[in-house]
Amino acid sequence: MEIIRTPVEMTIWANRTLAAGQTIGLVPTMGFFHEGHLRLMRKAGEKAERTVVSLFVNPIQFGANEDLGRYPRDFARDCQLAEGEGMDVLFAPEVQTMYPAEASTRVIVSGLTDGLCGASRPGHFAGVTTVVAKLFHIIKPHCAVFGRKDFQQLAVIARMVADLNWDVEIIGHPIVREADGLAMSSRNVYLSVPERQAALCLFRAIGHARRRVRTGLVEAKVLLLEVEELLLQEAVTIEYVSLVDQTTLQPQAVLRKGAVLAMAVNVGATRLIDNDNLFEEN
Protein backbone atom coordinates (compact mmCIF):
# COMPACT_ATOMS: atom_id res chain seq x y z
CA MET A 1 0.00 0.00 0.00
CA GLU A 2 1.26 3.44 -0.91
CA ILE A 3 0.94 6.35 1.55
CA ILE A 4 0.45 9.68 -0.20
CA ARG A 5 0.66 12.93 1.72
CA THR A 6 -0.06 15.76 -0.74
CA PRO A 7 -2.93 16.55 -3.12
CA VAL A 8 -0.48 17.02 -6.01
CA GLU A 9 1.01 13.55 -5.57
CA MET A 10 -2.46 12.07 -5.15
CA THR A 11 -3.66 13.58 -8.42
CA ILE A 12 -0.55 12.33 -10.23
CA TRP A 13 -1.40 8.81 -9.01
CA ALA A 14 -5.06 9.24 -10.08
CA ASN A 15 -4.14 10.50 -13.55
CA ARG A 16 -1.72 7.61 -14.03
CA THR A 17 -4.39 5.13 -12.94
CA LEU A 18 -7.03 6.60 -15.23
CA ALA A 19 -4.59 6.64 -18.15
CA ALA A 20 -4.11 2.91 -17.60
CA GLY A 21 -7.85 2.45 -18.01
CA GLN A 22 -8.47 1.45 -14.40
CA THR A 23 -11.37 2.49 -12.20
CA ILE A 24 -10.90 4.15 -8.80
CA GLY A 25 -12.95 3.58 -5.66
CA LEU A 26 -12.74 6.02 -2.74
CA VAL A 27 -13.56 5.66 0.94
CA PRO A 28 -13.41 9.08 2.66
CA THR A 29 -12.72 8.79 6.42
CA MET A 30 -11.36 10.63 9.44
CA GLY A 31 -9.46 7.55 10.54
CA PHE A 32 -9.36 5.54 13.77
CA PHE A 33 -10.67 2.61 11.80
CA HIS A 34 -13.17 0.07 13.08
CA GLU A 35 -15.01 -2.77 11.38
CA GLY A 36 -17.48 -0.31 9.85
CA HIS A 37 -14.67 1.43 7.97
CA LEU A 38 -13.24 -1.91 6.88
CA ARG A 39 -16.59 -2.92 5.39
CA LEU A 40 -16.60 0.30 3.36
CA MET A 41 -13.13 -0.54 2.07
CA ARG A 42 -14.26 -4.01 1.06
CA LYS A 43 -17.21 -2.58 -0.83
CA ALA A 44 -14.91 -0.16 -2.67
CA GLY A 45 -12.69 -3.12 -3.57
CA GLU A 46 -15.69 -4.92 -5.05
CA LYS A 47 -16.68 -1.91 -7.14
CA ALA A 48 -13.36 -0.65 -8.50
CA GLU A 49 -10.01 -1.94 -9.74
CA ARG A 50 -7.93 0.44 -7.62
CA THR A 51 -8.89 1.74 -4.19
CA VAL A 52 -8.05 4.79 -2.11
CA VAL A 53 -8.95 5.39 1.52
CA SER A 54 -8.51 8.98 2.66
CA LEU A 55 -7.61 9.75 6.27
CA PHE A 56 -8.15 13.39 7.12
CA VAL A 57 -9.58 14.84 10.33
CA ASN A 58 -11.29 17.74 8.63
CA PRO A 59 -11.10 20.83 10.86
CA ILE A 60 -13.74 22.87 9.04
CA GLN A 61 -16.54 20.43 9.85
CA PHE A 62 -16.00 20.78 13.62
CA GLY A 63 -17.70 23.49 15.66
CA ALA A 64 -15.92 25.71 18.17
CA ASN A 65 -16.85 23.52 21.16
CA GLU A 66 -16.59 20.13 19.49
CA ASP A 67 -13.95 17.42 19.77
CA LEU A 68 -11.44 18.29 17.03
CA GLY A 69 -8.51 18.34 19.46
CA ARG A 70 -9.30 15.02 21.10
CA TYR A 71 -10.72 13.13 18.11
CA PRO A 72 -9.18 9.63 18.36
CA ARG A 73 -6.15 9.02 16.16
CA ASP A 74 -3.86 6.02 15.59
CA PHE A 75 -2.09 6.41 12.26
CA ALA A 76 0.11 3.31 12.49
CA ARG A 77 -2.84 1.06 13.30
CA ASP A 78 -4.95 2.62 10.55
CA CYS A 79 -2.19 1.99 8.01
CA GLN A 80 -1.98 -1.64 9.06
CA LEU A 81 -5.74 -2.15 8.83
CA ALA A 82 -6.07 -0.43 5.44
CA GLU A 83 -3.23 -2.46 4.02
CA GLY A 84 -4.85 -5.60 5.36
CA GLU A 85 -7.97 -4.76 3.37
CA GLY A 86 -5.97 -4.44 0.17
CA MET A 87 -6.19 -0.69 -0.25
CA ASP A 88 -3.85 0.60 -2.95
CA VAL A 89 -3.42 4.05 -1.42
CA LEU A 90 -3.87 5.70 1.97
CA PHE A 91 -4.24 9.43 1.27
CA ALA A 92 -3.36 11.31 4.46
CA PRO A 93 -2.76 15.00 3.71
CA GLU A 94 -1.79 17.68 6.21
CA VAL A 95 -4.29 20.45 6.93
CA GLN A 96 -2.17 23.14 5.30
CA THR A 97 -2.04 21.25 2.02
CA MET A 98 -5.83 20.86 1.93
CA TYR A 99 -6.58 24.39 3.12
CA PRO A 100 -3.80 26.82 2.21
CA ALA A 101 -3.92 30.16 4.01
CA GLU A 102 -5.47 31.88 1.00
CA ALA A 103 -8.31 29.35 0.58
CA SER A 104 -11.69 31.09 0.65
CA THR A 105 -14.16 28.71 -1.02
CA ARG A 106 -16.90 26.62 0.56
CA VAL A 107 -19.30 24.22 -1.16
CA ILE A 108 -22.79 24.59 0.33
CA VAL A 109 -25.87 22.42 -0.16
CA SER A 110 -28.93 24.31 1.04
CA GLY A 111 -32.20 22.90 2.32
CA LEU A 112 -31.11 19.38 3.19
CA THR A 113 -28.62 20.77 5.71
CA ASP A 114 -31.13 22.87 7.67
CA GLY A 115 -32.60 20.25 10.01
CA LEU A 116 -31.45 17.23 12.03
CA CYS A 117 -27.68 17.53 12.68
CA GLY A 118 -27.50 20.73 10.66
CA ALA A 119 -29.78 22.56 13.11
CA SER A 120 -27.37 22.16 16.01
CA ARG A 121 -24.09 22.14 14.07
CA PRO A 122 -24.05 25.30 11.94
CA GLY A 123 -21.38 25.13 9.29
CA HIS A 124 -20.81 21.41 9.76
CA PHE A 125 -22.18 20.28 6.42
CA ALA A 126 -20.45 23.07 4.53
CA GLY A 127 -17.24 21.62 5.94
CA VAL A 128 -18.24 18.11 4.88
CA THR A 129 -19.27 19.01 1.34
CA THR A 130 -16.19 21.18 0.84
CA VAL A 131 -13.75 18.46 1.83
CA VAL A 132 -15.59 15.77 -0.14
CA ALA A 133 -15.64 18.03 -3.21
CA LYS A 134 -11.90 18.52 -2.85
CA LEU A 135 -11.34 14.78 -2.48
CA PHE A 136 -13.37 14.12 -5.62
CA HIS A 137 -11.33 16.64 -7.59
CA ILE A 138 -8.02 15.35 -6.26
CA ILE A 139 -8.67 11.59 -6.54
CA LYS A 140 -11.15 11.48 -9.46
CA PRO A 141 -13.00 8.38 -8.24
CA HIS A 142 -15.58 6.46 -10.24
CA CYS A 143 -17.35 5.56 -7.00
CA ALA A 144 -17.23 6.61 -3.35
CA VAL A 145 -18.53 4.60 -0.40
CA PHE A 146 -20.12 6.19 2.68
CA GLY A 147 -21.76 4.64 5.74
CA ARG A 148 -25.48 5.10 6.30
CA LYS A 149 -24.96 5.84 9.98
CA ASP A 150 -24.27 9.39 8.80
CA PHE A 151 -27.66 9.38 7.10
CA GLN A 152 -27.99 13.12 6.54
CA GLN A 153 -24.41 13.39 5.31
CA LEU A 154 -25.07 10.71 2.69
CA ALA A 155 -28.18 12.52 1.45
CA VAL A 156 -26.33 15.84 1.28
CA ILE A 157 -23.38 14.39 -0.65
CA ALA A 158 -25.71 12.62 -3.09
CA ARG A 159 -27.50 15.93 -3.67
CA MET A 160 -24.21 17.76 -4.25
CA VAL A 161 -23.08 15.15 -6.77
CA ALA A 162 -26.39 15.31 -8.64
CA ASP A 163 -26.53 19.10 -8.64
CA LEU A 164 -22.94 19.47 -9.88
CA ASN A 165 -23.25 16.69 -12.48
CA TRP A 166 -20.36 14.74 -11.03
CA ASP A 167 -19.77 11.38 -12.68
CA VAL A 168 -19.29 9.62 -9.35
CA GLU A 169 -21.42 6.75 -8.06
CA ILE A 170 -22.32 7.36 -4.42
CA ILE A 171 -22.72 4.08 -2.53
CA GLY A 172 -24.43 3.98 0.86
CA HIS A 173 -23.30 1.05 2.98
CA PRO A 174 -25.66 -0.32 5.68
CA ILE A 175 -24.86 0.55 9.28
CA VAL A 176 -22.39 -1.84 10.89
CA ARG A 177 -23.23 -2.62 14.50
CA GLU A 178 -21.58 -4.17 17.51
CA ALA A 179 -22.94 -7.52 18.69
CA ASP A 180 -25.28 -5.72 21.11
CA GLY A 181 -26.61 -3.35 18.43
CA LEU A 182 -24.65 -0.16 19.07
CA ALA A 183 -23.74 1.48 15.77
CA MET A 184 -19.98 1.41 15.27
CA SER A 185 -18.35 4.82 15.60
CA SER A 186 -14.86 6.09 16.28
CA ARG A 187 -16.37 8.17 19.09
CA ASN A 188 -17.58 5.07 20.95
CA VAL A 189 -14.12 4.96 22.52
CA TYR A 190 -15.13 7.99 24.62
CA LEU A 191 -17.87 6.04 26.42
CA SER A 192 -17.43 4.75 29.95
CA VAL A 193 -18.88 1.33 30.76
CA PRO A 194 -22.15 2.77 32.17
CA GLU A 195 -22.42 5.19 29.24
CA ARG A 196 -21.85 2.35 26.80
CA GLN A 197 -24.83 0.54 28.32
CA ALA A 198 -26.97 3.67 28.26
CA ALA A 199 -26.16 4.20 24.57
CA LEU A 200 -27.95 0.95 23.70
CA CYS A 201 -31.23 2.82 24.09
CA LEU A 202 -30.75 3.98 20.49
CA PHE A 203 -30.88 0.42 19.17
CA ARG A 204 -33.78 -0.44 21.47
CA ALA A 205 -35.66 2.56 20.10
CA ILE A 206 -35.13 1.32 16.54
CA GLY A 207 -36.45 -2.13 17.48
CA HIS A 208 -39.51 -0.58 19.14
CA ALA A 209 -40.21 1.64 16.13
CA ARG A 210 -39.96 -1.30 13.72
CA ARG A 211 -42.37 -3.36 15.81
CA ARG A 212 -44.89 -0.52 15.96
CA VAL A 213 -44.74 0.01 12.19
CA ARG A 214 -45.27 -3.72 11.61
CA THR A 215 -48.41 -3.59 13.77
CA GLY A 216 -49.84 -0.81 11.59
CA LEU A 217 -48.97 2.43 13.39
CA VAL A 218 -48.99 5.33 10.90
CA GLU A 219 -49.12 8.43 13.13
CA ALA A 220 -45.60 9.84 13.34
CA LYS A 221 -46.32 11.99 16.41
CA VAL A 222 -47.38 8.92 18.38
CA LEU A 223 -44.24 7.01 17.51
CA LEU A 224 -42.02 10.01 18.23
CA LEU A 225 -43.44 10.33 21.74
CA GLU A 226 -42.93 6.63 22.39
CA VAL A 227 -39.33 6.73 21.15
CA GLU A 228 -38.51 9.79 23.24
CA GLU A 229 -39.98 8.14 26.32
CA LEU A 230 -37.89 5.02 25.70
CA LEU A 231 -34.67 7.01 25.24
CA LEU A 232 -35.23 9.00 28.41
CA GLN A 233 -35.33 5.83 30.45
CA GLU A 234 -31.53 6.08 30.25
CA ALA A 235 -29.18 8.87 31.32
CA VAL A 236 -29.08 10.54 27.91
CA THR A 237 -29.94 14.00 26.63
CA ILE A 238 -31.99 14.06 23.44
CA GLU A 239 -30.83 16.45 20.72
CA TYR A 240 -33.45 15.34 18.24
CA VAL A 241 -35.75 12.47 17.37
CA SER A 242 -37.29 12.81 13.92
CA LEU A 243 -39.22 10.81 11.35
CA VAL A 244 -38.26 12.10 7.93
CA ASP A 245 -38.40 11.14 4.27
CA GLN A 246 -35.23 9.35 3.16
CA THR A 247 -34.69 11.65 0.16
CA THR A 248 -36.06 15.07 1.06
CA LEU A 249 -35.37 14.80 4.83
CA GLN A 250 -38.71 16.50 5.40
CA PRO A 251 -40.66 15.45 8.52
CA GLN A 252 -43.39 12.88 7.93
CA ALA A 253 -46.75 13.22 9.66
CA VAL A 254 -48.03 9.92 8.29
CA LEU A 255 -45.57 7.04 8.14
CA ARG A 256 -45.05 5.52 4.71
CA LYS A 257 -42.37 3.82 2.65
CA GLY A 258 -39.09 5.73 2.88
CA ALA A 259 -39.66 6.89 6.48
CA VAL A 260 -36.42 7.13 8.44
CA LEU A 261 -36.19 7.34 12.22
CA ALA A 262 -33.21 9.63 12.87
CA MET A 263 -31.86 10.30 16.35
CA ALA A 264 -29.08 12.23 18.04
CA VAL A 265 -28.39 12.02 21.76
CA ASN A 266 -25.65 13.01 24.16
CA VAL A 267 -24.43 10.26 26.48
CA GLY A 268 -22.28 12.07 28.98
CA ALA A 269 -20.01 14.25 26.86
CA THR A 270 -20.35 12.04 23.78
CA ARG A 271 -22.70 12.83 20.93
CA LEU A 272 -24.08 9.75 19.18
CA ILE A 273 -26.33 9.41 16.15
CA ASP A 274 -28.30 6.49 14.77
CA ASN A 275 -31.06 5.92 12.24
CA ASP A 276 -33.16 3.27 10.55
CA ASN A 277 -35.30 3.12 7.42
CA LEU A 278 -38.36 1.61 9.08
CA PHE A 279 -39.81 0.03 5.96
CA GLU A 280 -36.61 -1.59 4.65
CA GLU A 281 -35.81 -5.20 5.34
CA ASN A 282 -32.92 -5.59 7.79
Q: Assess whether pLDDT exceeds 90 at residue 282.
A: no
Q: Assess whether pLDDT exceeds 80 at residue 100.
A: yes
**Domain 2-173 indexed as CATH 3.40.50.620:** yes
- Please choose, from the candidates 229, 223, 228, the residue with its C-alpha nearest in 3D space to the C-alpha of residue 210: 223
Q: What is the pLDDT of residues 11-59, one digit of tens each?
A: 999 999 999 999 999 999 999 999 999 999 999 999 999 999 999 999 9
Mean model confidence pLDDT for the chain:
97
pLDDT of residue 280: 87
Domain ranges of the chain: 2-173, 186-275
Number of residues written out for the chain: 282
Backbone Cα Rg of the chain: 19
Active-site residue, from 34, 37, 137, 208: 37
Q: What is the pLDDT of residues 200-223, one digit of tens each?
A: 999 999 999 999 999 999 999 999
Q: 15 Cβ partners below 8 Å, 6+ apart?
A: 140
Kind of pairing, strands 237-245 and 259-267?
Answer: antiparallel
The number of beta carbons lying within 10 Å of the beta carbon of residue 94 is 10
**Fold of the domain built from segment(s) 186-275:** Pantoate--beta-alanine Ligase; Chain: A,domain 2 (3.30.1300)
Q: Assess whether pLDDT exceeds 90 at residue 135.
A: yes
pLDDT of residue 278: 96
- Please choose, from the candidates 117, 264, 74, 269, the residue with its C-alpha nearest in 3D space to the C-alpha of residue 191: 269
pLDDT of residue 143: 98
Cα–Cα separations (whole angstroms), residue 20 to 15, 17, 113: 9, 5, 38
- 137 included as an active-site residue: no
Q: What is the pLDDT of residues 188-202, one digit of tens each?
A: 999 999 999 999 999
pLDDT-derived band at 65 (thresholds 50, 70, 90) equals confident
DSSP state of 254: B
